[in-house]
Amino acid sequence: LNVESVAALQQQWQESRNGMQLYKTSKLCNILFANELHRRLSSFGVTANSVSPGFIPNTGLSRHQGLFGRLFMKYVFPLLPV
């Protein structure tokens, strides 16, 4: 965990209030960190991976979406096949 990065993201959130963009940026940072960690440690037999669990509903991420996004997540998404 890079505390400085967390603090930077918190500052960006307070300044921009664009939660979805910050979420995407944080996921990209996770991928880049895992790639760099693997590059540096692979010669020692260490493997670093970054994986996505896929979409997980009911996490509260849609609370910052507009009305359409919230209605979609509440009424349409549950009807979609898994």
Active site residues: 23
| Burial call 40-59: b when 16+ CB within 10 Å, e when fewer | eeeeeeeeeeeeeeeeeeee
| Residue 49: φ, ψ to 5° | -125, 155
